[in-house]
């Protein structure tokens, strides 16, 4: 839900400064009047406002196309406040972009909001009178649950429920009910938390299981029941339709094969999409056969309170370059709200992106950016950026700067992060990330920069998970994880969580200048080599600040030696022993001949560990694989506040007093002002640009 501070900022966002401090952040996101040769006025309905020349969005795109063919540069589309309910996504192709000094700009209003919506309002809710439906509803729900006809609301395409999960590709979800801007809860059991897998009768497909105290007789009448959960491990979720129920035996049979990662007794699951479980305010259910939607509203309904998602996306840019969307919101989609494929220099800035069944923004191409956006209530992640060439190590230059992301994996819980970086040379900088079930930032590939992000309260449902995470590729090197504030991260799964997790022999990355406070494990190296851990501060991280193991010689040894295993496949997918790899990463070229699988040449230097154990090295091999220099403890540090370290909440609470021995012996002060500004700027009205944060830190570099 948008808080009052955010509302104040949004009402004045036309004055928000988006000038950014460094060269990497120098692309302008606000239009410059001197570049605009033509201005187009747009409103939700054509001919409204003060002039009959006001167009709809579709008409504006047609006008852009016409002007482009005539050679006109620098078109600016001014959107009036209001909700633009689209029949099809707004689309731009390669011929409808701008030029480097004359972009095509879609500019929201200086007051109010311009919202591109893929939803349809559903009014006309009535009491339920159908006897058969009332019999299926729980007794406590009768008299509270209302029903509406979707066909009367103009909704004919209802979508369908299908298997979704960690190992499956992103795809649009089914129709969702959105109440006052937030997705409602699909009727489920139990209402909160999880049930657990019981008996698992033998079968050829591994798809049969029991649940203690399940409502089997009622579920047997549900036409589209599905079960979601962590079937075999706390890091892999999947949602699977139910084929049949043996009510007498208390056994459910899933449609098709069982979960991709198998099934284990005791693992956490819940049942959903059941009218018989619509027993709490805020829950809903779709009767697909009759095209009726059932909803228990948390408060009396007013016109416009309820809508359903209809479109898969609301903005789809294919191959266009030099395009700006500034101050325009996106919401109510079944899939990714904003899609950008190919092209270069597309910027989405100062937007609210919410209530998507997929991700908020998915971009491929070069030098695209997502800036100062508020992204939340998304189903399968926040921002996904993929660019650069792993064969040549040429950078993509895509970036996510200064965004706030939370509640970003409602439908698929694992490996759907707030920010995902793929390819080469992309960036996540200055983002505020919280309230996620699994990782905050996932990265794959080379030479990314992950810096000044404030991450907390993630890994809320999962285990064996990192707030910042990567793994299983010897060649994916060169990423710098620096100056992040990672705090209060605790995974409930059996294996717990980690602050920064370089999993399964990740090698050649740099972790520096980070402040990690109250994480289950601060930095976790799952084997690997050539990693550098320097000038970080670990506070109250349990069971230890830095972990290294030798899994490449133990339980992963078979995978290390298997020429068809993932590690070896990833190795041969790129020219690992030839330029540019052999020049950029000298430790990689001879990896097959250099103690393959052994952790080695990892360096930990000038790190501070307070209120906890410093090192957790699994065995003698791991001990020899980590060179430790200048490890400072409680006796080397005095905080400027004079308070115990484990009471600190903000970055500046951990400022070192000048007399601290750690400073005299090599530890460099952390850029705490910049870290703190990442969170503080979202509380300001109007919200300041990132330059407020990072001008401070540039002086310290």
Residue 399 lies in a domain: no
State what percent of residues in the chain have pLDDT above 70: 93
Is residue 563 domain-shared with residue 641, that is, in the same domain? yes
Number of domains in the chain: 3
**520 and 638: one domain?**
yes
Q: Rounded mean pLDDT of 437-447?
A: 98
CA distances from 132 to 129, 151, 275, 276 (A): 9, 21, 11, 12
pLDDT at 36: 44
* The pLDDT of residue 696: 59
| pLDDT beyond 60 at 21 | no
Residue 247 has φ and ψ, to the nearest 5°, of: -65, -35
Q: Identify the pLDDT of residue 583.
A: 96
Boundaries of domain holding 151: 120-187+278-306
| Pair 486, 535 in one domain | yes
* pLDDT the model gives residue 8: 26
At residue 206 the predicted structure's pLDDT band, cuts being 50, 70 and 90, is very high
297 and 204 share a domain? no
Q: 56-103, pLDDT tens digit by residue?
A: 999 999 999 999 889 888 999 999 999 999 999 999 999 999 999 999
* Model confidence at 10: pLDDT above 70: no
Judge if 255 and 297 occupy the same domain: no
Q: How far apart are CA 27 and CA 534, in angstroms?
A: 31
CA 437 to CA 444: how far, in whole Å? 20
Average pLDDT of span 414-429:
98
Q: Say if residue 14's pLDDT is above 80.
A: no
Which pair of structure tokens corresponds to residue 592? 């097959």
In sequence order, which residues have a C-beta less than 8 Å from that of residue 350 and are 6 or more positions away? Answer: 13, 16, 18, 29, 108, 326, 327, 371, 372, 373
Q: What is the mean pLDDT of the chain?
A: 92
Could you give the CA distance from residue 149 to residue 151 in angstroms, rounded to a whole number? 6
Instruction: Give the chain's end-to-end CA distance (angstroms, integer).
Output: 38
Considering the domain architecture, whether residues 288 and 217 belong to the same structural domain is answered as no
Asked whether the predicted pLDDT for residue 698 surpasses 80, the reply is no
Same domain, yes or no: 196 and 224: yes
Whether 125 and 262 share a structural domain: no
Task: Print burial letters for 25-42: b (CB count within 10 Å at least 16), e (below 16).
Answer: bebbbbbeeebbeeebbb
> Residues 628-636: what's their mean pLDDT?
96
| pTM summary value | 0.93
pLDDT average, residue stretch 139-147 = 97
What is the average pLDDT across 497-502?
A: 97
Nearest to 462 by CA among 514, 412, 420, 428: 412
Q: Are residues 457 and 570 in the same domain?
A: yes
Name the helix (H) or strand (E) containing 499.
strand 497-503
619 CB contacts (<8 Å, ≥6 apart)? 549, 550
For residue 256, the domain's CATH number is 2.40.30
Q: What is the pLDDT of residue 47?
A: 54
163 located within any domain: yes
Q: Is residue 100 part of a domain?
A: no
- Count Cα atoms within 13 angstroms, Cβ side, for 82: 15
Q: How far apart are CA 207 and CA 221, in angstroms?
A: 20
Shared domain check, 174 and 238: no
Mean pLDDT in residue range 583-588: 95
Phi-psi region of 47 (alpha: psi -120 to 50; beta: other; left: phi over 0): left
What pLDDT band is residue 694 in, cutting at 50, 70 and 90? confident
Tens digits of residue pLDDT in 507-565:
999 999 999 999 999 999 999 999 999 999 999 999 999 999 999 999 999 999 999 99
């Amino acid at each position: 839900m948008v808080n009052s501070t955010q509302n104040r900022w949004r009402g004045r966002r036309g004055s928000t400064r988006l000038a950014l401090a460094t060269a990497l952040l120098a692309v302008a996101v606000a239009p410059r009047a001197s570049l605009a040769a033509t201005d187009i006025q747009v409103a939700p309905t054509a001919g409204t406002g003060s002039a009959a020349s006001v167009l709809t969005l579709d008409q504006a795109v047609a006008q852009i196309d016409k002007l482009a063919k005539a050679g006109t540069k620098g078109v600016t589309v001014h959107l009036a406040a209001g909700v633009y309910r689209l029949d099809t996504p707004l689309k731009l192709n390669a011929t409808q972009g701008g030029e480097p000094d004359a972009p095509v700009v879609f500019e929201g209003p200086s007051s109010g909001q311009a919202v591109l919506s893929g939803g349809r309002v559903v009014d006309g809710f009535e009491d339920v009178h159908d006897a058969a439906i009332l019999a299926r509803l729980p007794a406590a729900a009768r008299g509270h649950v209302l029903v509406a006809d979707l066909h009367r609301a103009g909704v004919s395409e209802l979508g369908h429920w299908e298997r979704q999960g960690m190992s499956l590709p992103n795809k649009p979800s089914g129709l969702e009910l959105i109440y006052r801007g937030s997705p409602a809860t699909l009727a489920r059991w139990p209402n909160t938390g999880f049930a657990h897998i019981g008996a698992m009768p033998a079968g050829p497909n591994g798809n049969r299981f029991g649940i203690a105290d399940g409502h089997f007789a009622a579920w047997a009448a549900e036409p589209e029941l599905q079960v979601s959960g962590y079937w075999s491990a706390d890091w892999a979720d999947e949602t699977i339709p139910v084929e049949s129920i043996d009510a007498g035996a208390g056994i459910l049979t899933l449609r098709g094969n069982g979960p991709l990662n198998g099934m284990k007794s005791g693992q956490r699951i819940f049942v959903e999409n059941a009218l018989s479980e619509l027993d709490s305010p805020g829950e809903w259910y779709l009767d697909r056969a009759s095209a009726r939607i059932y909803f228990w509203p948390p408060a009396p309904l007013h016109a416009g309170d309820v809508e359903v998602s209809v479109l898969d996306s609301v903005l789809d840019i294919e191959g266009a370059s030099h395009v700006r969307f500034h101050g325009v919101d996106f919401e109510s989609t079944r899939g990714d709200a904003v899609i950008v494929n190919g092209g270069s220099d597309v910027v989405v800035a100062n937007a609210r992106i919410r209530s998507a069944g997929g991700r908020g923004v998915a971009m491929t191409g070069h030098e695209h950016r997502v800036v100062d956006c508020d992204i939340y209530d998304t189903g399968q992640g926040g921002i996904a950026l993929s660019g650069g060439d792993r064969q040549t190590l040429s950078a993509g230059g895509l970036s996510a700067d200064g965004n706030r992301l939370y509640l970003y994996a409602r439908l698929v819980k694992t490996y759907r992060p707030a920010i995902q970086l793929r390819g080469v040379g992309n960036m996540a900088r200055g983002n505020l990330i919280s309230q996620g079930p699994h990782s905050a930032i996932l990265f794959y590939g080379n030479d990314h920069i992950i810096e000044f992000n404030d991450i907390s309260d993630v890994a809320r449902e999962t285990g064996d998970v990192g707030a910042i995470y990567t793994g299983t590729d010897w060649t994916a090197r060169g990423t710098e994880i620096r100056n992040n504030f990672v705090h209060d991260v605790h995974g409930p799964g059996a294996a717990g969580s980690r602050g920064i997790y370089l999993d399964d022999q990740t090698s050649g990355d740099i972790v520096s200048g980070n402040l990690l406070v109250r994480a289950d494990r601060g930095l976790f190296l799952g084997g690997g080599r050539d990693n550098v851990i320097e000038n970080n501060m670990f506070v109250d991280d349990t069971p230890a600040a830095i972990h290294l193991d030798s899994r490449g010689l133990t339980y992963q040894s078979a995978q290390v030696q298997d020429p068809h295993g993932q590690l070896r496949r990833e190795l041969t997918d790129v020219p690992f022993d030839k330029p540019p790899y052999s020049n950029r990463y000298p430790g990689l070229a001879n990896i097959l001949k250099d103690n393959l699988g052994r952790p080695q040449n990892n360096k930990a230097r000038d790190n501070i560990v307070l209120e906890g154990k410093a090192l957790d090295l699994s065995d003698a091999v791991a001990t020899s694989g980590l060179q430790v220099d200048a490890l400072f403890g409680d006796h080397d540090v005095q905080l400027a506040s004079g308070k115990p370290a484990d009471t600190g909440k903000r970055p500046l609470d951990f400022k070192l007093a000048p007399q601290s021995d750690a400073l005299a012996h090599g530890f460099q002060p952390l850029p705490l002002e910049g870290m703190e500004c990442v969170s503080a700027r979202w509380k300001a009205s109007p919200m300041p640009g990132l330059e407020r944060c990072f001008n401070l830190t540039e002086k310290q570099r």
